[in-house]
Structure 1
Amino acid sequence: MSAGGMYPAGMSDKVRYIVGCMTGTSLDGLDAALVRVVGEGMWMRAEYMGMMSRDLGELADVLAELATGRAHDAIEYMRAARRLGELYAGAVSEVCEQYLPKGEKLDFAVCHGQTIWHAPEDEVGKLSWQLFDPWPVVRLCGVKVCYDLRQGDLIAGGEGAPITPAADWFLFGELGMRKHVINQGGICNFTTIPKGDHAEEVMKGISGGDRGPSNLLIDGVISRLMGKGYDKDGEVARSGQASDWLWEKLQEDAFGLKVEGKTTLGREDFDEAFFEKLMGMWPAEMSDADKVATATEAVAHVVVQSLLDSDASGSYEAGGQGDEKVEVILGGGGAKNCYLVERIKAIAETRGEGRYCVKTSDEVGIPADAREAMGFAVLGAMSEDGIAATLEKVTGADRPELAGAWAYPSNR
């Protein structure tokens, strides 16, 4: 029975309409999803209502530059934050116009903002900067806004990421069934939802983390080789000859990504220096299409290895091995890369010895593009209900605080 269908008799039937908004590390656009949340606390369930996406336009280049770590005038950050807030406001307004049921009102919006820098090992503590100005959303849409969602985890000693594993329970969880939810945005991060008979028990056992590059790697390679922003449907990769060369290099840590004590990855890990090194290492016999195919193959291995690592970690429940199937749900932009999905399924079938049933999130009722935005809507509901949005087992935080700062409209 899914999280959306396990609502017990006699519990609250409160209904909230929430818009979740997300711009990820790949800077490929803004996603806004309208979610209908029924119930409160551990028993709430989230339903997809509709979504829209907006291109960041020239703001993508501005944000990418601000995320390089190079010095900029303070006014540049302020302008970018305001412009991003205005973009979010337009998206919230548009998704409500299209999908909010007649006669209903939006309860609030949850806005991630743009990660400019993630520094989980800074000398003054664990830090992360999600650039965002919430006030355009408050002003234009007339609703309260939850934003800056990572600080409550960071101040508690956590990494501040990944932040959505707890939300995955309300989106995908089923009592009595083990699941892996893989988000393929710029970075590949995963959630493992354990098998359990009680929601509270399952929540405590959820694990997750960043596992390696996803779209940042594929997009970075194809943009430098062919000037394309991304490999649509994996067409270029499909035309090439893939090898395990890059996957082997990542395993050898040829790029210095495996820093002791570091469990999160970001755009700063796949910067110009990373790609300059990679571009100088490719075997001479590889064509450009071969290189894109090989980068895609590496990402597919990153995904499958995360499954194997999680199921070998000792957290796999007694009786959960052998012939029992484990559902794997692929979300994020990478789930739209048909060739990548095919390779994940093929490698999972071989390395997982037939144990994994791989699906895209579209196949279980949540569009791949909507998963992260929906997750943030759920995190806002959790914050409002007094539930910590991050998990100690995932981020390493010690009793994490409630996620998010809130901005409120006037009562006029």
Structure 2
Amino acid sequence: MYKADNTQPLTVMGLMSGTSVDGVDACLARLSWQSGKLHHDILATHSVPMPADLRERLLRCMAEKSIQLEEFCRLNVAVGQLFADTAFGLMQAHNISASQIDCIGSHGQTLYHWPPTQPGMLGGTLQIGEPSLIAEKTGVLTIADFRPRDMAAGGQGAPLVCFADQLLFQDDTVGRCVQNIGGIANVTVVPSHAHLKEHDVPLMAFDTGPGNMLMDAAVDHFYQKSYDPDGAIAASGTVNEPLLQHLMAHAYLSQQPPKTTGRELFGLPCFQELLLGFPNIPPADWLATLNRFTAASIVDAYQRFVFPVYPVSEVIVGGGGSLNPVLLNNLRDLFAQHAHAISVKTHADFGIPDQYKEALAFAILAWASLLNRANNLPACTGASHAVVMGKHVR
């Protein structure tokens, strides 16, 4: 049994599949706690694309918000096998044995997320991808199903990566926002140590709104592609201002944190409703507008909830959105219009591969769980107290 004050390096693998449902990412890292700081070295990464038929089945049940019990069981096994294959594939590719890995942290694939909408209410969440299959195939202790423990304490069960963001990016003098743009976009505000010494303010993290989700729905509808490579289609279009203003009036954007969202609000049904309301917009203009909306909703969230409380000078963008130059340019343009000087960077600027940041985060969450250290941040999730998240499968 490891102890919470353990300082010896541990080797942990994180597995992640997000709301884009495009594949499973694995990140193997050596983690240690020294002199009050987390030290990390990324040892290996590996990725496996989501098979098209499995992705279609997952997206269908997410859109319909219902599933037959038999299909649920089959999906749980299929996703679990994919996660197990990804973990084992990393081990094979880098000649790493089970004895060299202390544990694996698996996020699983979210099917449905039902956060509490008022104080005192309990919510629920469902991530599939049977962890027993990962433990069986790899021979490594697997820690999974992190979110329910936070929700049992009254939290939203999200965002969870803020725990890792604080450990990875907190600086003595520089205030930062760590902005992930996957299917959904979420931010972690990481105040500088100097600011925290002068002001009694908690860490803040919340989902800002859609990331790539609406853009992916549009490019699939109009072009039968899974995403817009390099934002090329968006770059060829023109922003439709009436559509953009309609999107910016979405009630979620003004909702106070802590808050989380997902396909329930910004998935395929949302896009189909928009198509009915705005039937004559050219396809490229849809992509241009939805790209701008993702950036504008992020900047709007900072203006409402972040800048009034925290001095921020750097925004660190990760996730698939960090690979979209049009989206990054939209962010830089909007920050220049509406905020003081903001430097927009990516995780790669800090030596972390953008694609594998969330997998690294779940390695860190599993590391803390293994050490019996609390790994939620109640100020971010709304939980009543700190808890140790993650179910252990040996």
User: TM-score normalized by structure 1?
Assistant: 0.86
Q: Deviations over 1:118-171 (max 9, x none)?
A: 112389821111112111111111110110000111000011111110111222
- Shift of the 99–362 alpha-carbon distance from structure 1 to 2, 3 Å rule, reads farther
Partner residue in 1 for 2:318: 331
Partner residue in 2 for 1:120: 115
Q: For 1:337 and 1:299, how far apart are their aligned partners in 2?
A: 12
Partner residue in 2 for 1:223: 220
Q: For 2:95 and 2:323, how far apart are their aligned partners in 1?
A: 26
2:123 is paired with a residue of what secondary structure?
strand
Q: For 2:98 and 2:141, how far apart are their aligned partners in 1?
A: 19
Q: For 1:375 and 1:403, how far apart are their aligned partners in 2?
A: 13
Q: For 1:200 and 1:139, how far apart are their aligned partners in 2?
A: 47
Q: For 1:312 and 1:191, how far apart are their aligned partners in 2?
A: 13
RMSD: 2.8
Q: For 1:118 and 1:80, how far apart are their aligned partners in 2?
A: 17
- Is the counterpart of residue 361 in structure 1 residue 347 in structure 2? yes
- Shift of the 80–268 alpha-carbon distance from structure 1 to 2, 3 Å rule, reads same
Q: Is the 8 A contact 1:246 1:298 kept in 2?
A: no
Partner residue in 1 for 2:103: 108
Give the share of equivalent positions with the same residue, in percent. 29
Q: Is the 8 A contact 2:170 2:192 kept in 1?
A: no
- Shift of the 102–404 alpha-carbon distance from structure 1 to 2, 3 Å rule, reads closer
2:157 is paired with a residue of what secondary structure?
coil
Partner residue in 2 for 1:392: 378
1:27 is paired with a residue of what secondary structure?
coil
Partner residue in 2 for 1:307: 302
Match of 1:281 among 277, 281, 286: 277
Q: Is the 8 A contact 1:33 1:370 kept in 2?
A: yes
- Shift of the 191–94 alpha-carbon distance from structure 1 to 2, 3 Å rule, reads same
Gaps in structure 1 of 5+ consecutive residues: 1-10
| Alignment map for 1:246-285 (pairs within 5 Å) | 246-253=243-250, 263-282=259-278, 284=280
Q: Is the 8 A contact 2:253 2:301 kept in 1?
A: no
Cα displacement (A) at 1:101: 6.8
Match of 2:56 among 40, 61, 86: 61
Gaps in structure 2 of 5+ consecutive residues: none
Cα displacement (A) at 1:41: 9.8
Moved more, 272-281 or 296-305: 272-281
Q: For 2:196 and 2:367, how far apart are their aligned partners in 1?
A: 17
Q: For 1:176 and 1:264, how far apart are their aligned partners in 2?
A: 29
Cα displacement (A) at 1:247: 3.4
Aligned length: 387
Q: For 2:198 and 2:124, how far apart are their aligned partners in 1?
A: 30
Moved more, 71-80 or 257-266: 257-266
Match of 1:78 among 51, 73, 78: 73
Q: Is the 8 A contact 1:96 1:106 kept in 2?
A: no
Q: For 1:15 and 1:198, how far apart are their aligned partners in 2?
A: 30
Q: Is the 8 A contact 1:49 1:99 kept in 2?
A: no
- Shift of the 198–213 alpha-carbon distance from structure 1 to 2, 3 Å rule, reads closer
Partner residue in 1 for 2:128: 131
Match of 1:154 among 131, 136, 151: 151
Match of 1:96 among 62, 82, 91: 91
Q: For 1:94 and 1:77, how far apart are their aligned partners in 2?
A: 25
Cα displacement (A) at 1:35: 1.3
Cα displacement (A) at 1:38: 2.0
Match of 1:292 among 267, 287, 291: 287
- Shift of the 54–378 alpha-carbon distance from structure 1 to 2, 3 Å rule, reads same
Amino acid in structure 2 at the alignment position of 1:287: P
Amino acid in structure 2 at the alignment position of 1:341: L
Q: Is the 8 A contact 1:147 1:405 kept in 2?
A: yes
Partner residue in 2 for 1:5: none
Amino acid in structure 2 at the alignment position of 1:20: G
Q: Is the 8 A contact 1:46 1:378 kept in 2?
A: no
Partner residue in 1 for 2:357: 371
- Is the counterpart of residue 233 in structure 1 residue 230 in structure 2? yes
Cα displacement (A) at 1:328: 0.7
Q: For 1:346 and 1:375, how far apart are their aligned partners in 2?
A: 29
Q: Deviations over 1:89-125 (max 9, x none)?
A: 1111122333477997011100011111111238982
- Shift of the 342–196 alpha-carbon distance from structure 1 to 2, 3 Å rule, reads same
Partner residue in 2 for 1:39: 33
Amino acid in structure 2 at the alignment position of 1:268: E
Q: Is the 8 A contact 2:98 2:140 kept in 1?
A: no
Cα displacement (A) at 1:66: 2.7
Moved more, 343-352 or 275-284: 275-284
Q: For 1:77 and 1:290, how far apart are their aligned partners in 2?
A: 37
- Shift of the 156–265 alpha-carbon distance from structure 1 to 2, 3 Å rule, reads same
Q: For 1:205 and 1:149, how far apart are their aligned partners in 2?
A: 22
Q: Is the 8 A contact 1:34 1:96 kept in 2?
A: no
